[in-house]
Structure 1
Amino acid sequence: MNDTDQYCLLSNDIQLCYRVDGAAGEPLLLVGGLGWDLAAWPDALVSGLVQQGFRVVRFDNRDCGRSSTVDAPAPHTLRLMTGRLRDAPYDLGDMAADAVGLLNHLRIDRAHLVGMSMGGMIAQTVAARHPDRVTSLTSIFSTTGHPRVGQPALSTMLMLGRPPARTPEAALEREVALRRHIAARGFPFDAEDTRRSVAASLARVDDPDPRARVARQVAAIRVSGDRTAELRDVIAPTLVIHGADDRMVNPSGGTATLHAITGARLHVIRGMGHDFAAPVVPRIVDLVAEHAKAATVSARR
């Protein structure tokens, strides 16, 4: 796997950190979720897509990993939890523009987009607003922003609303506990592998207040509101993947995405939560690769 970070400065002065795996093939852009940096994508998923013939690009969203920290105060936790936000430093449209800016930097005209959770929302927005840049869309355990679908379980909300950890060690263990909580119910949870992955991601953050970064991303989701109407503009072939046991984004979010995007297909995986459990990764690779390759063939007709 490529562990060399590269950087590009966008026209909006946001600097993105990214990596590219695979020398040739159809470009495929992985868009990470809330606080999910580029190193958090499972190696098996990235290498599996490369083996399927794709040139895989992954990056840190703004306010994540080694990409730019936005100079703005963090919204209050209560306002984030209740959704009572009047404004925010940026929204999902701005994050979608970042993704397009990265494609421009890499001189990629069209790409397959694969987004998970918040990254699915970003990828959906790119597909709706920049249809000429998207060959196919895969939205994984994501939602439309409609307030009555895709909501976290109460137990998850309570975990997310806890006061900040006081030490790096406590922050690590708290994140591992959250990952365990939202993980697949039908597959074993590998605590040590998760701890290594979380530690690697935390080591890539050089920011005195990482929780503020996540809070601003949550605010971006909140102020973007219900995107159902905009999703009618998506014309790229769309695959929706969701875990039947997702405690972070209720499966109703996947169903709503299916109904919002014309011609979309939904694949629900039993036992899957809001994570990429090792036994599920090969299946996801196959689903994404089959969908993307079919879209490429269709686009060339």
Structure 2
Amino acid sequence: MSSPSDGPWSPVQWARNGAVRLAFDRWAERTGGEPLLLVTGLGVNRRWFPDGLCRTLAAHGFAIARYDQRDGGESTRLPPSAARGPVSALFGKRGEAYTAEDMADDAAAVMDALGWPSAHLLGVSLGGAVAQRVALRHPGRVRTLTSMAAVPGDAAGLRTLRYIRLRTLAKFARLSFPDTPAGNIEAGVAVSRLLASPSRPFDEPAVRENAERNTDGGVQDQQAQGRQIGAQWHGGRIDAITRPALVLHGEDDPLIKPRAGKATASRIPGSRLVLLPGVGHELPRFAWERVATEIRSLADTAG
């Protein structure tokens, strides 16, 4: 899902949740439409949402904003914790840095800064779990929920492992590159390769060009990833979500098994599952129109 910004985004703005500052911006090419907040995944910055997808969503009548989650991008980085990485966060001590409720409240804080009383949510990967939790914790702020490539938002610890391809996670944990701009580029290419659908040729030149334009060090900051994935949820079960919901999942996802999407959709009342052929743990160009059309249909049904 590595496709950095080359479109017209507003200058970076800031929201605050307590001591945490959250960087966000708006799609400025087309500003009218229904508010849609993009919630990004583990470790990566907001620029991993492809501009082409954002342009497509805008054409379907959405006003788009995206933000960096705490411990990602330009948002506040928290102090080191006992979890040394995402794998140890799953198996070891968790949650001493902050909670999953804090991360859900971050999304609400961004909506406050945007002046949005409510918004549609699109969360991908970890962002999908966060978006589910926002719908539980702040239902009045959520018009519709779209969760993509995510585990159920109330899964925790070892219960999460049934949904994760451990071989891919182990490869992810073993990635090691210099903490330099060049090293971040190589890490971005390697992560994109791991997350891409194995049924399609991997376009390394295009991926490398994208990585050179978005040298995101978060892809190899395992301490930050450990804090994000270690944030424990103490709230309700996703069976209690009352907002109109859509669950998207790539049929070829090499990291999160499609059974995770099926489990999520089976438990959120009234939700709909759409499996995307040829899609991995990514947002490839050929899927943009389908994703935008499905989210538009959900919004129209809710309206």
User: Following TM superposition, by how much is the alpha carbon of 1:36 offset from its aligned partner in structure 2, in angstroms?
Assistant: 2.3
Maintained 8 Å contact 1:34/1:119: yes
SS in structure 2 at match of 1:155: helix
Q: How many residues align?
A: 289
The corresponding residue for 1:19 is 25
The corresponding residue for 2:139 is 131
User: Following TM superposition, by how much is the alpha carbon of 1:285 offset from its aligned partner in structure 2, in angstroms?
Assistant: 1.4
The corresponding residue for 2:206 is 193
State whether structure 2 residue 119 is matched by structure 1 residue 119.
Answer: no
SS in structure 2 at match of 1:28: strand
Q: Which runs of 5+ in 1 are unaligned?
A: none
State whether structure 2 residue 46 is matched by structure 1 residue 34.
Answer: no
Structure-to-structure mapping, 1:20-99, within 5 angstroms: 20-21=26-27, 22-73=30-81, 75-77=83-85, 80=88, 82-99=90-107
When structure 1 is superposed on structure 2, of 70-79 and 256-265 the one drifting more is 70-79
State whether structure 2 residue 184 is matched by structure 1 residue 177.
Answer: no
User: Following TM superposition, by how much is the alpha carbon of 1:19 offset from its aligned partner in structure 2, in angstroms?
Assistant: 1.1
State whether structure 2 residue 169 is matched by structure 1 residue 157.
Answer: yes
Paired residue type of 2:119: A
User: Following TM superposition, by how much is the alpha carbon of 1:214 offset from its aligned partner in structure 2, in angstroms?
Assistant: 2.1
Residue deviations 1:258-286 (CA, integer Å, cap 9, x gap): 12211110001122110111111221111
Residue deviations 1:134-173 (CA, integer Å, cap 9, x gap): 1100000111126166633232122122163235334432
SS in structure 2 at match of 1:282: helix
State whether structure 2 residue 15 is matched by structure 1 residue 2.
Answer: no
Equivalents in 1 of 2:17, 2:278: separation in Å?
43
Maintained 8 Å contact 2:139/2:242: yes
Maintained 8 Å contact 1:65/1:201: no
Q: 1:82 to 1:40 in 2, by over 3 A?
A: closer
Q: 1:235 to 1:149 in 2, by over 3 A?
A: farther
Pick from 108, 113, 116 the counterpart of residue 116 of structure 2: 108
The corresponding residue for 2:223 is 212
When structure 1 is superposed on structure 2, of 54-63 and 85-94 the one drifting more is 85-94
Maintained 8 Å contact 1:150/1:254: no
Q: Which runs of 5+ in 2 are unaligned?
A: 1-6
When structure 1 is superposed on structure 2, of 238-247 and 14-23 the one drifting more is 14-23
SS in structure 2 at match of 1:161: helix
Pick from 262, 271, 278 the counterpart of residue 278 of structure 2: 271
State the TM-score, normalized to the length of structure 2. Answer: 0.87
SS in structure 1 at match of 2:240: coil
Q: 1:29 to 1:270 in 2, by over 3 A?
A: same
Equivalents in 2 of 1:86, 1:99: separation in Å?
21
Paired residue type of 1:224: W
Equivalents in 2 of 1:163, 1:269: separation in Å?
28
Maintained 8 Å contact 1:149/1:253: no
Aligned-pair RMSD on alpha carbons? 2.3
SS in structure 2 at match of 1:124: helix
State the TM-score, normalized to the length of structure 1. Answer: 0.88
Equivalents in 2 of 1:59, 1:258: separation in Å?
25
Q: 1:163 to 1:116 in 2, by over 3 A?
A: closer
Q: 1:154 to 1:243 in 2, by over 3 A?
A: same
Maintained 8 Å contact 1:39/1:200: no
Equivalents in 1 of 2:243, 2:233: separation in Å?
21
- The percentage of counterpart residues that share the same residue type is 30
SS in structure 2 at match of 1:252: helix
Equivalents in 2 of 1:163, 1:176: separation in Å?
11
Q: 1:55 to 1:148 in 2, by over 3 A?
A: closer
